[in-house]
Structure 1
């Protein structure tokens, strides 16, 4: 059965408007999950739901075939205070569809739903198709894709829908957040103290500013290390016993998170403790047939500095979707309607090249 692509695109845009109108902050996605369920019901596609994650398999699923996962998320961050529009009012002006989650990642999500539906009843595909519209991506919560994976079939390769201007993000940096402590000697501010933790922090900050990891990635460049928070003291007349720092480390695909943690803990001039090591970098071979299908369509490849649900996957994966990452989490978020139209067409063409040949 062939489904009309134009009709699918119109329905996808209508669904995006509906999703925008429903608040769906991380952990509060119940009603957007219902809207996504209705998409599958409208097309008579069997689906399953676990927590606020909704997923489905293509009609002609064969266990002997490898599986391609199509994934994006329907949760959002909180709207920031700079909004001048109602973040839940999906208005189109000058070709822009405004609203919270329109760009990150509603546009990619509805485009992937349309693409999955387009191929749902196709026979003789090289891979099974599995789609998962997932929750808690923005908060990396326990009921996100990571929590859903044990309930899903084995995944061999994945497309994660995020705004990439429909270029191929073939690698993504991992993330480690460290809590650092610079220790000193507490004292009354009126007395001499050569072991002031705040003053000692100056040299520690210089060390982090100048530190470089040896291995540079072709796709992702250097590991990026940034001090993002500093806190010390609670009284004007007391020298604090310690100064606390937070270090944000974006990890390239030359290192595992554990390797980075081991190196920094051994070399840093302060006490370090990682919060988690689970958000590793991810990548896909540039010569993978899925990537090559996109390249043949004129799409560029690059390495992404931002984190997504790719970090939950152990298979090869790439990030691909309509919209622009620089609009994500911004005030008066929007996506161009033509980006969704072109995104659906490009998704379909990429998958045709990969699944049909």
Structure 2
């Protein structure tokens, strides 16, 4: 028999791999360690005094350790970007990247924590056990519906902010974008008819935040069509969507939902045909956020919609979570908040939207590099905390 040639490995010769060589993070001391006196202060015997003080008053950890400014970025690698369930080791580059964004935009230190488990009970227990090291927990790339239960249970158990960015970071930036897009098309936010394609983590959170913002008419679609009480075998989170959305009682597929709609929000990774976008109301708004391939190409959407946004950086109006989470955690940590509330999320969205003083079709959210964003969000969040 002829031996089979070994399969070639991945091509790692490009500039992307060069940029990631050796990882993207390092630990840097904040105090000098140059002699025996420094050593005796920073480590033994001096450190024992600090340990004893914290044992007597645990709140002192926020002053005398890194805890106040450190967040754990936690994943199990089950829903990474658009790559799916690739596991914790393959997810590590994304978590490192998230940590870089935390530091660059919010001045928040963060540590990637990639856990080898898919069990909800084990994940909750593992995260709770490591929580004393951190001032906050940022859940990342955990698949739905498990992510809802994990976040809920951790919020009940811990006295530090627990935030699933795939849900709430996306929802905050979408709300900010719609606040300004509504101004561009001269409509009231509350009166918009919104269709969300995707009933996963982002879709559920967007629907909830929009409704809290006063948007009454929200319709959510999954791969089977419009989510409504008549659908069979609905998962728990979709059953809640069926009970709280679709006030006109629409039935059918995404095409039935989009007919006459003012807003399309795509967070599904699927595709939507141009002819369906064409049936939306005049001066419509399209936020096609699947990455790297939007549900409808922005050039195609622009033939029919007045305002178009994507998750990509090479088109106007990038809906990027980095507009929200660095400032959100900065404000929560600085204020000593025990949780991130719905009021804080609304305040963050409003702060982002207000940074665009005169919204246009080409600018409904500020640039991710606008240095005002994180401080503005942090102030708004801290004020509500």
TM-score bucket of the superposed structures, by smaller chain: under 0.3
The normalised TM-score by structure 2 is 0.26
More strand by share: 1
The normalised TM-score by structure 1 is 0.28
Greater relative contact order structure (CA < 8 Å, 6+ sep): 1
